[in-house]
């Protein structure tokens, strides 16, 4: 009976670990996709404007701001992911 309980606890711990990994992986992937979209949008906007220096500067400034924000989000998610993985590891031991 006790071994069955231990087996169930181990299975639950494993499933919890996988769930957390998948959750963080999808959040990180969403941010990375947003970064790619920002790059694509910048290139499209610059090409559409035909090279106006003022407009290109504005597009570049907006792009840099957006990328800075996304990089911060990505760093925060990765940091949070590491903390949660450490917590799960402690629980699983």
Dump pLDDT digits (tens) for 5-27.
778 877 787 787 777 777 888 88
In a domain, 39, yes or no: yes
Report CA-CA distances (Å) from 72 to 19, 51, 62, 69. 24, 30, 16, 5
Range of the domain at 7: 2-87
Mean of pLDDT values over 45-65: 86
In a domain, 60, yes or no: yes
In a domain, 46, yes or no: yes
The whole-angstrom distance between residue 69's C-alpha and the CA centroid of its chain comes to: 12
In a domain, 93, yes or no: no
Residue 91: pLDDT band with limits 50, 70, 90: low
In a domain, 92, yes or no: no
Output the pLDDT for position 11. Answer: 79
In a domain, 64, yes or no: yes
Residue 75 has pLDDT above 80, yes or no: yes
Number of domains in the chain: 1
In a domain, 21, yes or no: yes
For the whole model, what pTM was predicted?
A: 0.71
CB 68 within 8 A of CB 22: no
């Amino acid at each position: 009976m006790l071994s069955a309980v231990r087996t169930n606890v181990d299975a639950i711990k494993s499933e919890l670990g996988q769930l957390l990994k998948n959750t963080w992986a999808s959040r990180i992937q969403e941010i990375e996709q947003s970064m790619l979209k920002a790059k694509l949008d910048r290139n499209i906007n610059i090409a559409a404007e035909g090279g106006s220096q003022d407009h290109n500067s504005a597009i570049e400034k907006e792009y840099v701001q957006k990328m800075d924000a996304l990089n911060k989000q990505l760093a925060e998610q990765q940091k949070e992911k590491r903390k949660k993985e450490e917590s799960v590891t402690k629980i699983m031991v």
